[in-house]
């Protein structure tokens, strides 16, 4: 659809998910100041790319009601003040700094949908749609859970891929009206 895509596989990149003490203190800094303090070139690249991105697609399994540790570490290390948001005061509302027009989160699970809804609720909705992305200024968040993966048929998985294509097309149209 004419978009420039940047694809990351955190495992292939050997992304270190551990937030270092000297990385955590970026309150009030600009993106330029934050990048100057980073010695990890992979981390610097991820921060620059998310800061400039207009759309975000993340795919991950439901891992005990949360993203896997490597992705949680990516959130901790990449979506920091000065890159993803700014707080003027500890009590204040964040100023979202990301230019993301939309985010699409794709999750897989082995929990049957009825059990997920009635027993577990939807913790990934809270993480992505209520906490992380709105805090960073993202206005449009779409999320879809594909389950149960265990025991799914080839036809079911093909249907899910078709649904992902339709979701991607609607979430990331061929042209954007910049919101920032």
2: left (phi > 0), else alpha (psi -120 to 50), else beta? Answer: left
Per-residue pLDDT at 178 exceeds 80: no
Mean pLDDT for the stretch of residues 27-32 = 75
| Residue 103 · residue 140 · CB < 8 Å | yes
Per-residue pLDDT at 163 exceeds 80: yes
Neighbouring C-beta atoms of residue 28, cutoff 10 Å: 11
pLDDT, residue 180, reads: 39
| Residue 24 · residue 80 · CB < 8 Å | yes
pLDDT, residue 108, reads: 97
Query: What domains does the chain contain, in order, with CATH numbers?
Result: 21-171 (3.40.50.360)
In the structure, what pLDDT confidence band is assigned to residue 93 with cuts at 50, 70 and 90? confident
In the three-class reduction of DSSP (H, G, I as helix; E, B as strand; rest coil), residue 39 is classed as: coil
The maximal CA–CA distance of the chain, rounded, in angstroms, is 52
In the structure, what pLDDT confidence band is assigned to residue 57 with cuts at 50, 70 and 90? very high
Mean pLDDT for the stretch of residues 143-157 = 96
CA-CA distance, 138 to 97, in Å (whole number)?
9
User: Looking at the DSSP assignment, which residues form a beta bridge with residue 49?
Assistant: none
User: Looking at the DSSP assignment, which residues form a beta bridge with residue 68?
Assistant: none
In the structure, what pLDDT confidence band is assigned to residue 25 with cuts at 50, 70 and 90? low
Mean pLDDT for the stretch of residues 140-163 = 96
Percent of the chain at pLDDT > 90 equals: 69
CA-CA distance, 95 to 137, in Å (whole number)?
7
User: Looking at the DSSP assignment, which residues form a beta bridge with residue 60?
Assistant: 107
In the three-class reduction of DSSP (H, G, I as helix; E, B as strand; rest coil), residue 31 is classed as: helix
pLDDT digit string, tens, across residues 101-124: 999 999 999 988 888 888 888 899
In the structure, what pLDDT confidence band is assigned to residue 175 with cuts at 50, 70 and 90? low
Per-residue pLDDT at 89 exceeds 80: no
């Amino acid at each position: 659809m004419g978009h420039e895509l940047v694809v990351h596989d955190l495992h292939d990149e050997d992304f270190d998910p551990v937030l270092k003490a000297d990385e955590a203190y970026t309150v009030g800094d600009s993106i330029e100041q934050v990048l100057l303090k980073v010695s990890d070139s992979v981390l610097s690249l991820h921060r620059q790319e998310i800061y400039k991105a207009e759309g975000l697609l993340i795919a991950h399994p439901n891992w005990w009601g949360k993203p896997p540790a490597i992705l949680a570490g990516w959130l901790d290390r990449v979506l920091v003040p000065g890159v993803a948001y700014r707080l003027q005061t500890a009590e204040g509302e964040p100023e979202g700094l990301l230019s993301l027009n939309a985010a699409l989160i794709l999750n897989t699970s082995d929990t049957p949908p009825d059990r997920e809804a009635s027993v577990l609720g939807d913790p990934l909705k809270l993480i992505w749609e209520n906490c992380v992305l709105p805090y960073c200024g993202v206005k449009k968040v779409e999320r879809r859970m594909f389950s149960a993966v265990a025991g799914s048929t080839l036809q079911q998985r093909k249907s899910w891929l078709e649904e992902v294509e339709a979701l991607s097309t609607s979430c990331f149209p061929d042209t954007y009206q910049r919101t920032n």
